[in-house]
Amino acid sequence: MAIGAAAQLYSDPGMKGSSLLTGLAAGERYGLLNYGDLDSAGLLWSVRSGTMDSSDSNLNVVLFDNEDFDGNFLQLSIGREDHDATFEDSGNNTWSVLLIASNQAGTTETRASFVNLFRSKWDSLLDKLLQGTQLSREGEPTLTWRMFPVYPPSEGYQYYQNGDQFLSSDLTYLHIQQELLVTLPWYWSNYNALVDYYIQLFVAGNQVQASVAAWYLTVDPGAKSSKIWNLLAPQVQSGMNALQSQLNNELAFTSALNPTDVYLLPGTQLTSLGAGPALVGNTFNDVTIVVVS
């Protein structure tokens, strides 16, 4: 096994305190440090400095404020030509960490913002599907990711989200969440409903393809909740096919790229990052789809 990248995380500034050594073998994409991994090394809430080394790829160390690789994040990166680097973080609240190898030697990357690629298409698709019904789109969707979901919670105090029971803890997913307004006739109050779709990206047939892995529907509690859920659920379920078809239309451009892999980065990062200021963002605002050729 060849070591491709490594990082040492420290509990105190200046590479002091307790530490955790982690890394990726050459060719690996993601390294996972969950709540328990950080807690056992004395690094929970407290990744204050570190070292990064890489030779085969850019190395991105992403520190998340939530324990399931989402929410606010701080991304520290080095280019493969940088070789080694150090970092300091003065405002740390880390609950989970992802190591992500990008820009691997011998590959070309094409990047797309999930929001830019799909939000307007989603709006059009949904508005068309809801036309003439008692349902309407309530604002814009959240276009985000769901990384290595754990269900049921098995170690420590781990979160899980609606839909995780249908997903694999070894996979990464795009996640679309949309709030809907259910308008009821006078004189009943309206209800809100929340629809979730989880999508796996993969390379097949010489292009990146999407597969909708799971759907989820939540309706406001109330006397009419179950009835509304029963009315909506078949539509949400059948919407998987329309969504998958629309996504694959938007991903058709990848057939010209001769892709070999596809992976995700947090937030919007359309260019490869090397050493320098950290990238700060929130996974609920956007996700970057990286097509590898």
Partner 1 sequence: MSRASRGSVTVGRPVEKSSEPGGGHVKSRPCRGAASRPSVGGSHGGGANEASRPPRTLTPRIRRNTPPADWWLPDWVREHVDSNRPVDDLIAEAVRRVAGSPHEATIVTVQTLFNELSRNPDHAAAVRVAVRTLLDKHLRRRAS
Chain residues 13-72 in contact with partner 1, contact rule CB under 8 A: 13-34, 36-37, 40-42, 45, 48, 51-56, 65-67, 70-72
The half-sphere exposure of 236 on its side-chain side, counting CA atoms within 13 A, is: 25
Given candidates 62, 174, 281, 292, which one binds partner 1 under the rule CB under 8 A?
281
- Calculate the alpha carbon distances from 177 to 116, 130, 284 in Å: 16, 16, 10
Examine residue 158 and tell whether it contacts partner 1 (CB under 8 A). Answer: no
CA-only gyration radius of the chain, Å: 21
For residue 139, which of 81, 181, 104, 101 has the smallest C-alpha distance?
Answer: 181
Number of CB atoms found within 10 A of residue 169's CB: 12
Q: How far is the CB of 225 from partner 1 (least distance, A)?
A: 4
- Rule CB under 8 A: say whether 252 interacts with partner 1: no
Among 150, 181, 203, 257, binds partner 1 (CB under 8 A): 203
CA distance 58 to 81: 8
Residue written as tokens 């050459």?
26
The single residue among 62, 174, 213, 287 that binds partner 1, judged by CB under 8 A, is: 213
- Residue carrying structure tokens 């009835």: 227
Helix axes 225-250, 114-130, angle to 10 degrees: 130
Q: Which of 132, 185, 221, 271 touches partner 1 (CB under 8 A)?
A: 221
237 or 255: whose CB is closer to partner 1? 237
Place of tokens 């999508």: 199
242 binds partner 1 (CB under 8 A): no
Binding mask 100-139 for partner 1 (x = CB under 8 A): ----------------------------------------
3-class SS of residue 214: strand
Nearest distance in Å: CB 80, partner 1 = 8
Whole-angstrom distance, CA of residue 40 vs CA of residue 28? 24
Residues 254-273 as x/- pattern, contact with partner 1 by CB under 8 A: ---------x---xxx----
What is the separation, in whole angstroms, between the first and last Cα of the chain?
Answer: 24
Q: Which of 110, 136, 211, 235 binds partner 1 (CB under 8 A)?
A: 211
For the CB of residue 198, give the shortest distance to partner 1 in the complex, in Å. Answer: 9
Cα–Cα dist 218/233, whole Å? 9
- For β-strands 109-113 and 287-292, DSSP reports them as antiparallel
| Interface characters, 169-188, with partner 1 (x: CB under 8 A) | -xxx--x-x-----------
Identify which range of 121-129, 180-188, 233-241, 252-260 contacts partner 1 by CB under 8 A.
233-241
Which among 122-130, 163-171, 181-189, 250-258 is the span making contact with partner 1, rule CB under 8 A?
A: 163-171
